[in-house]
Structure 1
Amino acid sequence: MDFDVAPLLTPYPCPSADPAPGVVVLPGGGYTHLAEHEGKPVAEWLNSLGYAAFVLQYPVGPDDFHPLPLNTARAALRHLRANAAHHRIDPRRLGVLGFSAGGHLAAHVATAVETSRDARPDFAVLVYPASSWGSIDRFGPGSPRRDSLLGPEPTRAQRDAVSIELIATEDTPPVLAIHAADDFVIPVRHSLLLTETLARLRVPVELHVLPHGGHGFGLGEGDPEVHRWTVLCADWLRRYA
C-alpha cells in the first residue's frame, strides 16, 4: 500500500516551462544515513542539464529494513507520475540516479519483478552501486553492512533476493554504471557482475570504470579525471532520458 511520500521528496524544478525529464536522486550512506554531497549538489547539476530533480529521503536507520526503502522509492515514482503536470515533468521520461547504497536502491526499483510499470523508472544511473549482496561474499571496509538493509543475520536466500545480478530481467530499463577501479569499499566487481547480467539479458547497458576515485566521490569536483563521469553521464542521458 502506498503512503504519502511527498514530504520525503525535495524538488529541484527545471527552469523550463515545458515538461522536462525527471530524475529521482538517491544518495548513498550504507542504508544507515544519507550522504549530503550526493543529494542537493547532484540535483542542482541535473538542473543545469535541463532535468527536473527530486532528492528522496528514503528510510535508513536501525529499524528501516527491506522492503521499506524499496517501497518508498516505488511510491516516489508513482507520486511523481501521478503529479507530473504539477512538477512539469514528462511522466514517460522519469529515471533514477543513485550512489552506493542509493545505487543499489536505484537498481532494485528498476529490476524487482514485482514492481508495477508506474513504479519502475524509465532509465537508471548507478554510481559505485552496492549491487550484489549475495554473490560477493565480502564488501570492503566502510561498506554497508548487510544487516543495515536486511536485519540481523540475514540468510543467503535473503541476500540473493536483493542482489541485482540475480534478479534482473529483460524488462530492466537502460542502465549506466560508473565505478572506480580502486574502490575498495564497494569493489568494481559489483558493477562488472551487473553489467554482464544486463548484457546477457540484452538490456541497454553502459559501464565506465574510472582509473581512480575510490568510493564516495559524488560529482568528483576537484579532480578532472573523476569529474569527467558527469560528462559521460550527460551524454548518456541525452540518448536515453
Structure 2
Amino acid sequence: MPTNTLDLSVPMLKIIHDKFSNETITSNQQMTVSISLLDDHERPFILVFPGGGYHHLAEKEGKPIVKWLHSIGYHAGVLYYPIGTIDHLSMVKELEEAFIQLRKHAKKWHITENKIGALGFSAGGHLAGLAGTKITNRANALLLCYPVITFTEPFRHAGSREHFLGSTQPSKHLVESYSIEHLIDEHTPPTFIWHTADDQSVPIQNTILLANSLARHNIPFEYHVFPSGKHGLGMAKEFPYVERWLSFAEIWLKNIFDDKSLEGKHA
C-alpha cells in the first residue's frame, strides 16, 4: 500500500459536466471537478490543476489546456480547488475523493479507469503532486509545469505556502509533510516535468529537488529545462521555443498510457 496517505472521511465534492460553457470559475471554496469528454469512446482522462498561488485560479491554465488535451485524443477536465483560506487536511481528503469518484464512475463517464493523469501548473502543480504522493487513490501519471514543489527554505514560493498551510511560520514537520520531494515513494507514478531556468517566482530548484527525489526512488520521469521564460507561461504560445513542451508531453503521454502494464492496476 502507498505511504504518505490520510484516512478519508467523505467530504463535499461537486462534479459538473461541462461542454465549454461560458462560465469560468476563477475563485472557489468547494472542490469541483468539471468533466469535459471528447466523445463517447473509452479513453484515458487527464485532470487539469490551474495555478494561481492558492490565491486565485489562472484561467489560461484551465479550459485552454482541456481543449489541447482533446486535440490529442484525451478526455479531460479541470479541478477547481479551494483557494484563499484553505484547510489543508480537508483539501487532501477532497482530492482523494475526486480520484475515487473518477474511478467509481469511470465506465459511465467513458474513462479508462487505470489511466487517469494529473496535469498541474505552479501551485496547481503542487496539488497535482499531492495527487501522486499524499493520497491512496493516486493518479497514474503526473505532468507538472513549473510546479511549486517545496515549502522549505530557501526555495519555497511564499504565497503558496502561506495560503496552503495557513501560517507564515509553520513547523518543520508541517512544511515537510506537504513538500513533494519528501513524499516521493515507490508508488509515485511516472512523471513529466518542465520549468524555465530563470523563473523568478518559483525557483528552478523546486524541480531539481523533485527530479533528485524521483531518481532516488527509481520513478520513471522526463524533465525539460528551458533556458528562459517568465513564470506562468501556460501553453507558452508566445514563446515558441518553450511551446515545444506540448509536443514533448504528447509523446510522453502516449508512451505512458500505451504501457500495457497499467492495465488492471491503479495507484
Pick aligned residue for 2:105 from 83, 95, 100: 83
Deviations 1:1-59 (A, max 9, x none): 123421411112122x3210001110011111111100000011001111111101111
* Residue 3 of structure 1, aligned match among 7, 11, 20: 11
Q: Does 1:45 align with 2:68?
A: yes
How far apart in 2 are the matches of 1:31 and 1:170? 28
2:186–2:218 Cα contact (<8 Å) kept: yes
Alpha-carbon deviation of 1:67? 2.3
Matched, 1:30 2:53: yes
Q: Which amino acid aligns with 1:129?
A: P
Residue aligning to 1:92: 114
1:19 and 1:4 mapped to 2: Cα distance?
27
2:186 matched residue in structure 1: 170
SS of 2:132's equivalent in the other structure is: helix
Q: Which secondary structure does the structure 1 equivalent of 2:107 belong to? A: helix
Of Structure 1 and Structure 2, the greater helix share is in 1
Match of 1:137 in 2: 154
- Say if 2:155 and 2:205, in contact at 8 Å, map to a contact too: no
* TM superposition shift of 1:98: 0.4
CA distance in 1, matches of 2:204, 2:244: 18
**Residue 125 of structure 1 aligns to which amino acid in structure 2?**
L
8 Å contact kept, 2:145–2:193: yes
Amino acid at match of 2:113: P
The residue number in structure 2 matching 1:74 is 96
Distance in 2, Cα, partners of 1:4 & 1:86: 21
Deviation (angstroms), 1:157: 1.3
Which structure 2 residues correspond to residues 119-130 of structure 1 after superposition, within 5 A? 119-130=137-148
Distance (Å, rounded) in 2 between the aligned partners of 1:37 and 1:102: 12
Q: Secondary structure at the match of 2:118?
A: strand
| CA–CA separation in structure 1 for the residues paired with 2:237 and 2:98 | 29
Question: Number of residue pairs matched?
Answer: 232
Answer whether contact 1:29 1:144 (CA < 8 A) is retained.
no
Shift of 1:108: 1.2
Moved runs in structure 1, 4+ residues, more than 6 A? none
RMSD over equivalenced CA pairs, Å:
1.4
d(CA) in 2 for partners of 1:145, 1:21: 30
1:219-238 equivalences in 2 (<5 Å): 219-238=235-254
SS in 1 for 2:45: strand
Contact 1:131 1:194 in 2 (8 A): yes
Match of 1:201 among 217, 237, 258: 217
Structure 2 residues without counterparts, runs of 5 or longer: 1-8, 17-31, 258-267
Separation in 2 of the partners of 1:71 and 1:12?
23
CA-CA distance at 1:111 after TM superposition: 1.1
1:139–1:185 contact (8 Å) kept in structure 2 = no
The CA deviation at 1:154 is: 1.2
Q: Equivalent residue for 2:165?
A: 150
Conserved? CA contact 1:9–1:57, under 8 Å? yes
Using the TM superposition, give the Cα deviation of residue 196 of structure 1 relative to its aligned residue in structure 2, in angstroms.
0.7
User: Which runs of 5 or more structure 1 residues have no equivalent in the other structure?
Assistant: none
User: 2:231 and 2:91 mapped to 1: Cα distance?
Assistant: 22
